């Protein structure tokens, strides 16, 4: 997507730590805000994967994919790590599905020959799983936004913005990113949806935390690469996302939020805390 936002241009808004905080008590619980189950083949397949042996295969692919992108210094590693630790909620399933599809679409142009071989193997494993792709017109993220509008009509997300999620409109990620960063209640509800019944919210705020949720060993090499990934840009040039193939608006916006924290003192900033 050539029209994706240049992340460094985004206003400095709530940090990941703030966005991950639970919403106020008056806000609907995750169970209340979740959309009704839509009986589609895609949903049924992903539910089976979430509950059965295939989940381990998906987790392994996400871990291996995180290592591969970490080695390449690719910021999409943050998204893979996050996806590995979300719960099997509708939003969580959609996030995992979109992220796996992202791996399937990655081009090996910036990888070493060894990395290219590893990526090819991962993509073959993904193909063998026969996972359904997300149908943007049935987006759980769009349903989540509509349900939020009913709960908080005074803070409603613009209908055109929600429609851009369903049509996967090119260039619309900036609008979604701004909405999520500008409304802390909405962002908190989204993190709650991803966390589901898990005790802890997936934490990718520091290099060490990212390695942990990704299921990677904290070797000296991995730690060094993770810290390098979290270093704020050395120049004022924004981190470009134009060459990062992303299958849906939701994960494009989530990655933009994660990356935007790297250039703020309150964000990841190398994780030196």
Chain segment 39-54, per-residue pLDDT in tens: 355 555 555 555 557 8
Q: Is it the case that residue 271 has pLDDT exceeding 60?
A: no
Stretch 131-140: mean pLDDT: 91
So what's the pLDDT on residue 157?
A: 96
Of the two residues 54 and 6, the one the predictor is more confident about is 54
Q: Where are the domains of the chain?
A: 7-263
Q: Which long-range contacts (CB under 8 A, 24 or more apart) does 155-161 make?
A: 155/183, 155/185, 155/186, 157/186
Q: Measuring CA to CA, how many Å separate 96 from each of 26, 160, 192?
A: 29, 25, 16
Chain segment 173-227, per-residue pLDDT in tens: 999 999 999 999 999 999 999 999 988 888 899 999 999 999 999 999 999 999 9
The structure's pTM equals 0.77
So what's the pLDDT on residue 15?
A: 47
Instruction: Return the top range by mean pLDDT from 11-20, 35-44, 155-164.
Output: 155-164
The pLDDT mean for the chain works out to: 80
Stretch 62-79: mean pLDDT: 95
Stretch 234-243: mean pLDDT: 64
Half-sphere exposure of 153 (CA within 13 A, CB side): 1
Distance (Å, rounded) from C-alpha 255 to C-alpha 77?
10
Chain segment 73-105, per-residue pLDDT in tens: 999 999 999 999 999 999 999 999 999 999 999
So what's the pLDDT on residue 49?
A: 54
Q: Measuring CA to CA, how many Å separate 122 from each of 31, 57, 70, 83, 117?
A: 34, 11, 15, 16, 9
Smallest Cα–Cα separation from 97: which of 161, 141, 145, 53?
141
């Amino acid at each position: 997507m050539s029209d994706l936002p240049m992340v460094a241009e985004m206003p400095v808004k709530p940090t990941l730590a703030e966005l991950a905080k639970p919403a106020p008590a008056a806000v609907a619980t995750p169970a209340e805000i979740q959309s009704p189950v839509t009986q589609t083949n895609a949903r049924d397949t992903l539910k089976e994967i979430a509950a059965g042996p295939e989940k381990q295969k998906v987790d392994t692919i996400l871990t291996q994919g995180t290592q591969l992108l970490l080695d390449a210094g690719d910021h999409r590693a943050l998204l893979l790590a996050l996806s590995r630790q979300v719960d099997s909620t509708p939003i969580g399933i959609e996030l995992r599905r979109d992220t796996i599809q992202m791996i399937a679409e990655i081009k090996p142009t910036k990888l070493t020959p060894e990395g290219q071989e590893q990526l090819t193997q991962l993509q073959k494993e993904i193909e063998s799983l026969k996972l359904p792709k997300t149908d943007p017109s049935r987006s759980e993220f769009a349903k989540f936004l509509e349900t939020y509008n009913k709960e908080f009509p005074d803070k409603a997300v613009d209908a055109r913005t929600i429609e851009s999620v369903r049509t996967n409109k090119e260039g619309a990620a900036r609008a979604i990113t701004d909405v999520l960063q500008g409304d802390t209640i909405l962002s908190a509800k989204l993190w709650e949806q991803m966390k589901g019944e898990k005790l802890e919210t997936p934490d990718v705020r520091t290099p060490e935390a990212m390695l942990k949720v990704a299921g990677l060993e904290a070797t000296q090499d991995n730690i060094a690469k993770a810290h390098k990934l979290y270093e704020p840009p050395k120049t004022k040039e924004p981190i470009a996302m134009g060459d990062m193939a992303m299958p849906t608006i939701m994960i494009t916006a989530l990655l933009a939020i994660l990356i935007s924290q790297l250039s703020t003192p309150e964000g990841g900033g190398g994780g030196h805390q």
